[in-house]
Amino acid sequence: MMMGTRQADIEDELGFQLKAHSFGVKSVTRSTQENHSLNIVLLEDVTLKVSLTLRGYSLVSYAPESLPPPLVAAFEGLHLRHFETLEALLHTASPRYREAFQRSLFDKLTRVKEAQEEEEQEEEEEEEADPEEEEGQR
């Protein structure tokens, strides 16, 4: 029974990853050939086959065999490593993913800051309006 639960957990994780990283890759799809694998097309036009096991994410293969020069160093020994998260693997493999991640994070932080500033502005306006109401009641 425990094995079935682990398999279900892996399937749930893969489903989550299909959506979570779409901002920084061209596409993420489940592999139809192997269980617990994803096919990921990087922004650099390199296709990765990534497997998820209980040890983590690992690179199974990539195409084309001849990598663009900026990726050669990043891919050296990559297939020998296991990563705790898909994000960590993508950060290591793709400079353009890192850039997209940073942009996405910056955009989210900007939205949070703007929402806080709006909230503060509304509070200030309410505070300014309150004394006038009190004077009108006197």
**pLDDT 10s digits, 29-66:** 888 777 788 999 999 999 999 998 889 999 999 998 78
pLDDT attached to residue 3: 47
Q: Helices then strands (H, E): number in the chain?
A: 4, 4
Q: If we measure between CA atoms, which residue out of 47, 21, 23, 44 comes closest to residue 95?
A: 44
Phi-psi region of 56 (alpha: psi -120 to 50; beta: other; left: phi over 0): left
pLDDT attached to residue 35: 76
pLDDT band of residue 92 (cuts 50, 70, 90) is very high
pLDDT attached to residue 133: 56
The pTM assigned to this predicted structure is: 0.74
